[in-house]
Amino acid sequence: MYKVNEVFETIQGEGSFTGAPAIFIRLQGCPVGCSWCDTKHTWEIKPELKQSLGDIVIKTAETEHWAAVTPADLLQLFVAKGYQAKHVVITGGEPCMFDLNPLCEALHNAGYSTQIETSGTFDIKAPAQTWVTVSPKVNMAGGYKVLQSALDRANEIKHPVAMQKHIDELLQLLQHTDTAAKLIYLQPISQQQRATELAIAMCKQHNWRLSVQVHKYIGIS
């Protein structure tokens, strides 16, 4: 059973799958405590806020409500909703609090590709063919460390930046990581001009890539 905060179909706005139609599964629960988090409603798992999956998918606002569902429940929902996307993004919250092998394997068997978006602070339990996006969260309030195993497993590392110290943190993280087969993205925090200018300059300097959260610029979920 997975604790699901919301399920919706949209366009992926970040990283290497930018522009691709995608079904997002947002899981409930995250102890990392990022100060700029834009999904703080997913942090706590409150038993009294448990609902049915049917109630979750018709939410019209961000809430802390969640549903306990199986992979089969989600696949049935995709059909019922008429979703056409074949790429599924599992996010949160912190999705790697859960063993994602059963969910990803069920999705693969049904013809979907999968992607996980994680802070890198929990062991990643997912099949080899799942695309893993690690957005490393360093020195956050929850006190969790970014795991070297998560950096090693990542297909792309997408680092949020606002100031030079965030670049320094990323360079420190990458010291012991083989990046030859990985994509490295910088993502300006909250679309700040200063952060964007810094990210562009550092992408040029280090031959990294820029992720600008396209969905926020065009006003979609």
Question: Residue 104 annotated as binding?
Answer: no
Where helices occur in the chain by DSSP H, the ranges are 53-57, 71-81, 101-109, 148-153, 164-174, 193-206, 214-218
Question: Residue 56 annotated as binding?
Answer: no
For residue 213, what are its two tokens? 């959260």
Angle between helices 193-206 and 164-174 (to 10 degrees): 40
Chain centroid to Cα 209, Å, comes to 17
Question: Residue 165 annotated as binding?
Answer: no
Residue 17 identity: F
Question: Residue 135 annotated as binding?
Answer: yes
Question: Residue 187 annotated as binding?
Answer: no
CA gap 40, 57 in Å, rounded: 19
67-69 and 2-11 beta bridge pairing = antiparallel
Question: Residue 137 annotated as binding?
Answer: yes
Question: Residue 18 annotated as binding?
Answer: no
Question: Residue 96 annotated as binding?
Answer: no
Q: Taking Cα atoms as reference points, which of 82, 79, 62 lies closest to residue 6?
A: 62
Question: Residue 34 annotated as binding?
Answer: yes
Question: Residue 36 annotated as binding?
Answer: yes
Question: Residue 10 annotated as binding?
Answer: no
Half-sphere exposure of 68 (CA within 13 A, CB side): 7
At residue 82, φ and ψ (nearest 5 deg) are: 70, 30
Question: Residue 11 annotated as binding?
Answer: yes
Question: Residue 26 annotated as binding?
Answer: yes
Which residue positions form the known binding site?
11-13, 26, 30, 34, 36-39, 91, 93, 135-137
Sequence ranges of the binding site for substrate:
11-13, 26, 91
Which residues carry a binding-site annotation for [4Fe-4S] cluster?
30, 34, 37
Which residues make up each annotated binding site for S-adenosyl-L-methionine? 36-38, 93, 135-137
Annotated binding site for Mg(2+), which residues? 39
